[in-house]
Structure formats: C-alpha cells, structure tokens
Amino acid sequence: MIPPSPACRTEVARRADYRAFYENYHELYLLYAQARIPWSTAAADVVSAAFDDIAFVWTTALSSPSAAALAWGLLRQQVAGSALCPSCRPACAHCVLRPAMADAVVLHAYIGISLSETATVMGLNRGDIGALLCGARRRLADSHRLVRAMSHMGLHVQEGGDGRGSC
C-alpha cells in the first residue's frame, strides 16, 4: 500500500468527521497513554502519532464495521511501543492480561469511565466489556502476580477472595 502524502493527511485532518472524532477521543486517548507510559510528554507524542496513523486510514476506517475499534487498535499499537511491558515492575495489567482485557481494566477500573464509555471508545458493546472485566477478575483470583498488577492499576481487591465480584 502506498502511504498517502502529507498533503493528503492534512486534507483528512481538516475533514469535519475526522475533527469530530479527534475532539471526542483525544482526551481519553491521552489518559490511556498516560496510564501506560510513565513520561507524560512521551504519552502526548504517542497519541499524536496514533492520530496520524488514524488519519492515514480514515476513509477505510469509516467504511469498516467500527471506526472506533480500528482507531483503538492503532492507539494500542502505538502505546505498546513506548510502554515498558513486559519488563515493567510491578507488572501492570498489560503484562499479565490479554490486551483487550487489560485495556478494559485501565479504562474502567483505573481511569474510571463508565462501562458504556469504555465500550464506545474501544468500539465494542457493553456486554463485551463486562465479559472482559469478568475474565480479568477470574484471572486475578488465580494468580498472585495478577493481584499485584491489579493493585498497581488502582483496583482495590481482596487477596484470597474469589475475585469474581458480580460475574
């Protein structure tokens, strides 16, 4: 695939639908990046690079089943390149959980946005997010390492409890 020229990207950046997407998601993308990258200037750069990636594929994204899901994948990829995983200590949620599960934990449990908002930004439905969080809790109940990961993420969990909550 031939990458669009910078001029094309600027063109996309001026489009009302892209601008609206940027306005809606920029702040939350930044909070997510800051949660995973210890240096806030790096987090801002990473988010900016992710929006560049999104601009590259914007037309494709609009005709895909979920532009939000496609964009989220690009953001996660950019952030993963700058996060310390898998060597961060104590291990974070992304070191020990599947990426989508860990993202749901960061957004809902750590940043504290609602299930609906978490679903919207990840391009999933509420039921998917509930299932991801339940999966995370189940894994938490099974692993000592996860207990540390979850407390690192600001979750208050009882070590030795069944960890299943309302699942």
Helix-helix angle 16-36:67-82, to 10 degrees:
40
Q: Which is nearer to Zn ion, 64 or 82 (CB)?
A: 82
Which range, of 65-73, 89-97, 100-108, 129-137, touches Zn ion by CB under 5 A?
A: 89-97
Closest distance between Zn ion and the C-beta of residue 92, in Å?
4
Q: Which is nearer to Zn ion, 85 or 134 (CB)?
A: 85
Which range, of 42-50, 91-99, 113-121, 122-130, touches Zn ion by CB under 5 A?
A: 91-99
Closest distance between Zn ion and the C-beta of residue 139, in Å?
15
List the Cα angle 61/62/66 in 5-degree steps. 70
Residues in the interface with Zn ion (CB under 5 A) total 5
Q: Which is nearer to Zn ion, 48 or 82 (CB)?
A: 82
Q: Which is nearer to Zn ion, 66 or 82 (CB)?
A: 82
Structure token pair of residue 140: 């938490």
Please give the Cα distance from 61 to 59 (Å, whole number): 5
Contact residue for Zn ion among 30, 69, 88, 131 (CB under 5 A): 88
Look at residues 93, 77, 87 and name the one whose alpha carbon lies nearest to residue 35. Answer: 93
State phi, psi for 12 to the nearest 5 degrees.
-60, -45
Contact residue for Zn ion among 43, 74, 92, 105 (CB under 5 A): 92
Identify the three-state secondary structure at position 145. Answer: helix
Burial class (CB in 10 A: 0-12, 13-18, 19+), 56: middle
DSSP state of 5: P
Contact between 95 and Zn ion per CB under 5 A: yes
Q: Which is nearer to Zn ion, 92 or 124 (CB)?
A: 92
Binding site residues, Zn ion, CB under 5 A: 85, 88, 92, 94-95
